[in-house]
Amino acid sequence: MSIKLLLEKAHVEGIRYFDVYRREGGYRSVEKALKEMGPEAIVEEVKKSGLRGRGGAGFPAGMKWSFIAKPEGVPRHLVCNADESEPGTFKDRYLMEFIPHLLIEGLIVSSFALGSNDTYIYIRGEYAWIVDILEQAISEAKNNGFLGNNILGTGFNCNIHVQRGAGAYICGEETALIESLEGKRGNPRIKPPFPAVQGVWMRPTVVNNVETLAAVVPIINMGGEEYAKIGVGRSTGTKLISACGNINKPGVYEIDMTISVEEFIYSDEYCGGIANGKKLKACIPGGSSVPILPANLLLKTAKGETRYMNYESLSDGGFATGSMMGSGGFIVLDEDQCVVRHTLSLARFYRHESCGQCSPCREGTGWMEKILKNIEYGKGKLSDIDLLWDIQRKIEGNTICPLGDAAAWPVAAAIRHFRDEFEWHVLHPEEAQQRNYGLAHYADPIHVPATA
Amino acid sequence: MSEQQLFKVTIDNITIEVPAGTTILNAARQIGGEVAPPAMCYYSKLAGSGGKCRTCLVEVSKGSEKDPRPMPKLVASCRTTVMDGMEVKNITSEKVVDARAGVVEFLLLNHPLDCPICDQAGECHLQDLSYEHGKEGTRYEFQRRTFKKHDIGPYIQLHMTRCILCYRCVFTADQLTSKREHGVLDRGDHAEIATFIEKSLDNEFIGNVIDVCPVGALTDKTFRFKNRVWFLKPVEAHRDCPTCSGKVTLWNRGDEVYRVTARKDQWGEVEEWICNTCRFEKKQTSDWVIEGPRLVDRHSVISQGHYAGSVGMHKPAETFAAVNDGRSPKLMMDIHDVSKVNRNEITLSLINGPAHSTNFNSTKD
């Protein structure tokens, strides 16, 4: 059994309510942080823990906290990004739904560390029922003196406000989230200035993912150095993975980043193997934006080493042969799945969710979707594949926010690794409507040239 | 004022010193010529504009003297400020040229290319941009995007299909008028400029959205289909206006004022905002004090008429007397008495809508 820090108590009956959560040792970290440690000590502890942002980019959280500007007389804010909209990712929902007090506890400690008296949870509009759960948790915490004025007699005031989004994926991007929180159209801002200097209402702001903030609780409880001992290298602590697709046991799993991808997919403790006895064809290991990998490159790196479930190992080989940890949305495709169709549905998603602010993303995403639609429905040409490659190349890196990259990467990776499947669709348009390309050679072991 | 700190910046191997806080684009504009990146959405007079169209992308090959690392991505020069010792590559960078060609292709992807019937033709920034940086053909094989038509009042014509979503008009409406009534609806490739629930725009400075529009999406309804800009002669004029500066450019043909716009500088930006009364209501030469011809860049199609020196108001001298030894000319037939298609009492610029044969039909009235 691996170590569980976040979901350890998630299945205790009534953990959703304050009394049970408190009885199980909840809110210890608030007492410790506010009474025994100062804000600087907390930031220092988070830095030592090596905790990396769990929202997708993997930026060290302690470092992000230390960037926040502290001008005299200007309030600072902590914003919790609960706009979890990445297709394939549902870990934050699980966390907030089953153990909401863990997030509230992490928010109080982090707010204290950053000096935020008004902290916001920006939650995805579709998570309507979770808003009620969170607001109940907040009022319970308030009634028990962990929120509001003069928390635990330390003189620190903090209120948490829950704000619902209106159903736009782009509002998960931190500057678009800030705009939306201010009540404006959710267009990403142009950086710099960064939110750490000018965020919500032009005040210094830190935006963190739900899981990142929840992970602050065990860090304070056990100490940053102890936390850093879990995991390997720069992938410290535990990570929630939301596994879905053609597996026997879809769900949210907490891993300590030392297990291999193969173990994660096939062991009964986690995904329990591919459903219906099929074979693994491909996988998107970190949510819809990250590159898709064929089975052979997923289980072993290009150098023939075992691939592990952590930040470094998943991105081993760069985009040529690797992928990314992302937000932990683990999507598994079996041999019956069509990569072209799959790429089309992702392209359709990004076309629909582009904010339309900058030209490459606004026009390019729609163009890619139309071409992919042609290929999928047997009207494609071989030149379309090169055209797709050229379009994604011209979107990537040329946009204001990472949505352009997120739209370009899945298309790029699909063409890079599954080009013959695209070509088969073009060359056998009628057959492609009847059956799928199948597993082909995508699970064949990769030949690794011997090195001297 | 204390002395401002000067930063040294090198753009395409030309070094210039600019005050701290200047953007790369403005530094490049000070050098001028080809070094200045094209800008479709940035407008120096509108706060918050820029960064959206991505045509002004440049490569920063050296961040600054202190931190010489190059920037990992191409940056929008209109929103990136210079650092001391920064080295920027614009047209000398292959990456920039390639990315810019891509952006032009994206901008033209859904553009209807209806230049032959577009009032903006001849002074359209998208035309210039595609001419300089675009390719001759498109690789787009699909139907171009269309929108439901919105009527935004008697003065301004909205052609959403031509829009490149630069947001300039949104900023103008927001910053120049007391009540913002139009903005961007929807998102992604179906985002559109519109007023919410069919409102008409009639705020007294709203006409400036026509001038800031880089394409033909917002045009002057009182000038719609009246004439091509290159047949008109731009003349600088002013009047004593109680609301605005009253300094305008008149677009004349002969004595007739076809159109009134604000004066634009070499980057196509308005020098001083003008009010709706000056723009839409004052279409008589007698309303204005003429200052002289407006200088037009010699590369512009508008300067093809070589009008400088013989401005609209100037009438050719009568030569009959000299030719005919003092005898007055003998009128054989007055064509206007006979013709049904040509009536000189009709002033073309005052007709409501485009000229049509019915306008000249003398049996009607």
| A121 lies in the same domain as A262 | no
Does the pLDDT value for residue A76 go beyond 70? Answer: yes
Does some domain include residue A350?
A: yes
Average pLDDT over residues B352-360: 74
Query: CB of A403 within 8 A of CB of B187?
Result: no
ipTM at complex level: 0.91
| B214 lies in the same domain as B238 | no
SS3 A433: helix
Instruction: Give the dihedral of Cα atoms A107, A111, A112, A114; nearest 10 deg.
Output: 140
Q: What share of chain A is helix, strand, coil (3-state, %, to 5)?
A: 45, 15, 40
| B15 lies in the same domain as B96 | yes
- pTM comes to 0.89
CATH classification at residue A268? 3.10.20.600
Q: Is A291 on the interface with B (CB under 8 A)?
A: no
Q: How far is B87 from chain A (nearest CA, A)?
A: 19
Q: How far is A344 from chain B (nearest CA, A)?
A: 16
**Residue of A362, A371, A387, A401 to mutate when probing chain B, most B C-beta within 10 A:** A362
The letter for the amino acid at A78 is L
Confidence band for A298, pLDDT divided at 50, 70 and 90: very high
A 317-336 near B (Cβ less than 8 A): none
- The token pair at B79 is 């929103």
Q: How far apart are CA B251 and CA B230, in angstroms?
A: 10
| A183 lies in the same domain as A63 | yes
Q: Give the sign of the dihedral formed by CA A244, CA A250, CA A256, CA A258.
A: negative
**Residue of B105, B162, B163, B192 to mutate when probing chain A, most A C-beta within 10 A:** B105
Q: How far apart are CA B207 and CA B154, in angstroms?
A: 11
Q: Which domain holds residue B337?
A: 320-360
Q: In B78-179, which residue ranges form alpha helices assigned H by DSSP?
A: 94-109, 125-133, 168-176
SS3 B189: helix
Q: Is B137 on the interface with A (CB under 8 A)?
A: no
Q: Residue A3: CB partners within 8 Å, gap ≥ 6?
A: A230, A238, A256
Does some domain include residue A203?
A: yes
Does the pLDDT value for residue B176 go beyond 50? Answer: yes
Secondary element (H or E) of residue A49: helix A39-49
Among A178, A198, A229, the domain-final residue is: A229
pLDDT of residue B342: 66
Does some domain include residue A62?
A: yes
Condensed to tens digits (0 to 9), the pLDDT of residues A318-361 reads 899 999 999 999 999 999 999 999 999 999 999 999 999 999 99
Worst-scoring range by mean pLDDT, A129-138, B108-117, B285-294?
A: B285-294
| B46 lies in the same domain as B21 | yes
Q: In B197-289, which residue ranges form alpha helices assigned H by DSSP?
A: 208-212, 276
A 136-175 near B (Cβ less than 8 A): 168, 170
Question: Residue B203: which of B175, B171, B181 has the closest Cα?
Answer: B181
Does some domain include residue B351?
A: yes
Q: How far is B304 from chain A (nearest CA, A)?
A: 33
Please name every residue paired with B248 in a beta bridge, in sequence order, or none if there are none.
Answer: B237, B262
Q: Is A399 on the interface with B (CB under 8 A)?
A: yes
| B162 lies in the same domain as B96 | no
| B234 lies in the same domain as B212 | no
Contact B52 A358 (CB under 8 A): yes
| A279 lies in the same domain as A365 | no
Mean pLDDT of chain B: 87
Condensed to tens digits (0 to 9), the pLDDT of residues A186-215 reads 999 998 899 999 999 999 999 999 999 999
- Using CA coordinates, name the residue in chain B closest to A190: B51
Q: Residue B231: CB partners within 8 Å, gap ≥ 6?
A: B253, B305
Does some domain include residue A452?
A: no
Strands (E), A8-99: 76-82
Q: Give B139's contacts in chain A (Cβ within 8 Å).
A: 387
Cis peptide before A193 (omega within 30 of 0): yes
Domain count within chain A: 3
| A117 lies in the same domain as A219 | yes
| B52 lies in the same domain as B97 | yes
Mean pLDDT of chain A: 94
Nearest to A355 among B140, B142, B188 (CB): B188
CATH classification at residue A79? 3.40.50.11540
Q: C-alpha distances in angstroms, B189 versus A367, B3, B212?
A: 10, 47, 22
Confidence band for B361, pLDDT divided at 50, 70 and 90: low
pLDDT of residue A448: 75
Share of chain A above pLDDT 90, in %: 91
Q: How far apart are CA B242 and CA B136, in angstroms?
A: 48
- Using CA coordinates, name the residue in chain A closest to B95: A394
Contact B187 A398 (CB under 8 A): no
Q: Is B165 on the interface with A (CB under 8 A)?
A: yes
Q: Is A366 on the interface with B (CB under 8 A)?
A: yes
SS3 A160: strand
Does the pLDDT value for residue B274 go beyond 70? Answer: yes
Q: How far is B289 from chain A (nearest CA, A)?
A: 42
Does some domain include residue B107?
A: no
Contact B73 A352 (CB under 8 A): no
Q: Which domain holds residue A58?
A: 18-229
CATH classification at residue B168? 3.30.70.20
Domain count within chain B: 4
Condensed to tens digits (0 to 9), the pLDDT of residues A108-120 reads 999 999 999 999 9
| A188 lies in the same domain as A279 | no
Q: Residue B141: CB partners within 8 Å, gap ≥ 6?
A: none
Condensed to tens digits (0 to 9), the pLDDT of residues B181-235 reads 788 999 999 999 988 767 777 788 999 999 999 999 999 999 999 999 988 889 9
Q: C-alpha distances in angstroms, A176 versus A168, A187, A400, B69?
A: 10, 5, 11, 28
- Size of the A and B interface in Cβ pairs below 8 Å: 87
Q: How far is B344 from chain A (nearest CA, A)?
A: 48
| A100 lies in the same domain as A201 | yes
Q: In A275-402, which residue ranges form alpha helices assigned H by DSSP?
A: 295-299, 311-314, 318-321, 339-353, 359-376, 382-395
| A63 lies in the same domain as A209 | yes
Contact B110 A356 (CB under 8 A): no
Question: Residue B267: which of B105, B32, B15 has the closest Cα?
Answer: B32
- The token pair at B233 is 């002669």
Does some domain include residue A445?
A: no
Does some domain include residue B334?
A: yes
Contact B103 A360 (CB under 8 A): yes
| A327 lies in the same domain as A358 | no
Among B53, B70, B101, the domain-final residue is: B101
| B248 lies in the same domain as B166 | no
The letter for the amino acid at A403 is L
The letter for the amino acid at A371 is I
Query: CB of B275 within 8 A of CB of B205?
Result: yes
Condensed to tens digits (0 to 9), the pLDDT of residues B68-77 reads 999 999 999 9
Q: Is A194 on the interface with B (CB under 8 A)?
A: no
Share of chain B above pLDDT 70, in %: 92
Contact A353 B187 (CB under 8 A): yes
Contact A357 B165 (CB under 8 A): yes
Query: CB of A330 within 8 A of CB of A338?
Result: no
Does some domain include residue A449?
A: no
Query: CB of B225 within 8 A of CB of B119?
Result: yes
Average pLDDT over residues B164-190: 88
